[in-house]
Amino acid sequence: MPLLKAPISRSLLDFHTPLGFRFHISALSTPHFASSYTLASTGLLGGSFSYLYTSLSLPALPFATRSLPLPAFTPTSYRQLLPLCPPDPPWWWEIWHAGRRIDNRDTLLYGRLYLPHSTLEALYLRRLTPTTQLKINAVSDVRLPNGGSVLALLAQDTGRWSAEYMYSTDSALLGVRGLYNFGLSPRNPGIGKKPPATEKVAPEGYGISRAGESVSGGEQVSRFSAGAEVYYGLLNKSGGMSTGLRFATLPAYTGFPYTMTLTLNPLMGNLSSSYSVRAGDLLSLSSQFDFNVYSYESGVAMGMELWKLRDLGGLDERLSRGGKRLERAKETIEAGRRRGLVELGEASRAGDIAGCLKARVDQRGNVGLLWEGRVKELVYSCGASIDLRGGKDIINGVGLELQYSS
């Protein structure tokens, strides 16, 4: 269930560790056009170049690596869910001139060519209505069956529920998946209303009722969601399905933010549960347990993310000042993404951040390490994949990635 698990547990347990050497350079040429180039060396020299065009003008803000704090390039893995918001009314999108509608739908085009294999990726994204979006992915490669494939996905999000309908030319796959959020409706939230004088308010510490609603009439502190997906291949005459549950705290929750998920694939017998928590301003933890009811095979994985601060003086001062600055920087960047801009004056307070360490380990002894930091105008990522049971070949691979944007 990607709708339930991808944002948190995968970023802490399945993060990418670089292999070999890669150098990325990007530039925003105009408010509508951006380009990126990559040079890679993994025993064989290669790379890629990509271009992006959007009809929606990007904010006129600096995107250079020297102007943005490190969390802008390496965002925190634990991204807390926000309260549900109702979609924009359709008439908000209407632009009239001389009695005629002249508004257009925003479109994004993206293309990337990989060398030396000449693999081509393409993306078409178009916002049809305030609640509907069309996405088409295409891949061209002579090594793939039929020379490539196309995936079309129609997504709909109303706040309370969301759904995705997809079709892939690979095996003529048809699929649909949906997610429903229980609790207060974003169209009629009932948030911010004070309780009547005769209504009893639960004491502090007991302010949660069904579906995470605050019994005191305040903000919702948690959310319970349920989802399912079904897919069927017309050519191979096979299908599948999975279901999932998620419970997550919202910003109004006063304790440590956490998220719990449970997914089940009844046809294959796979059961997976995960628990992620932001244990502090600088630390996030995640664990996952997998079990198959048919084969009795099981798996356990644990991951962590730790942000390091620069030497600002004593340890107590660093933890008190730096942790709050990192939290403010994260909130500013997340708010900027929602509004389409970043307030650099506030985000620059995250200059005390030296880097970020990610680590994961599973029951087979596979360890992944990743360190992300910056040196002047370069953002770098260095990591290693380690097999504790590999004997003499304990290190599977190491790598270094450099990023620069202007």
Whether the full predicted model's pTM is greater than 0.85, yes or no, is no
The Cα 287–Cα 111 span in angstroms is 36
Q: Which residue in 372, 403, 368 sits closest to 387, CA to CA?
A: 368
- CB distance 138 to 150 below 8 Å: yes
> Which pLDDT score is estimated for 4?
52
> Phi, psi (5° rounding) for residue 9?
-65, -40
Q: For residue 183, what is the DSSP state?
A: S
Other CB atoms within 10 Å distance of the CB of residue 236? 10
> CA-CA distance, 130 to 307, in Å (whole number)?
37
SS3 state at 144: coil
The CA-CA-CA angle for residues 303, 8, 124, to 5°, reads 130
**What b/e readout covers 305-330, taking b as 16+ CB neighbours within 10 angstroms?**
bebebeeeeeeeebeeebbebbbebb
- More confident site: 44 or 202: 44
Q: What percent of the chain has pLDDT over 70?
A: 79
63 contacts 405 by C-beta, under 8 angstroms: yes
For residue 57, what pLDDT band results from cuts at 50, 70 and 90? confident
Question: At residue 129, what are phi and psi to the nearest 5 degrees?
Answer: -140, 175
What are 91's two structure tokens?
């008439």
Phi-psi region of 160 (alpha: psi -120 to 50; beta: other; left: phi over 0): alpha
Among 100-114, 228-242, 324-338, name the one with the lowest average pLDDT: 324-338
- Structure confidence by residue, pLDDT tens digits, 363-376: 999 999 999 998 88
H/E segment holding residue 309: strand 298-309
Average pLDDT over residues 242-250: 94
List C-alpha distances in Å: 92 to 55, 59, 89, 103, 188. Answer: 18, 20, 6, 11, 19
Rounded Cα–Cα distance for residues 206 and 219 (Å): 14
Distance separating alpha carbons of residues 164 and 135, to the nearest angstrom: 10
Cα separation of 250 and 220, whole Å?
7
Assign 166 a pLDDT band (cuts: 50, 70, 90): very high
Model confidence over 309-364: pLDDT tens digits?
876 554 445 555 555 555 655 555 555 444 333 333 333 344 567 889 999 999 99
Quick one: pLDDT band at residue 189, thresholds 50, 70, 90? very low
DSSP character at residue 214: B
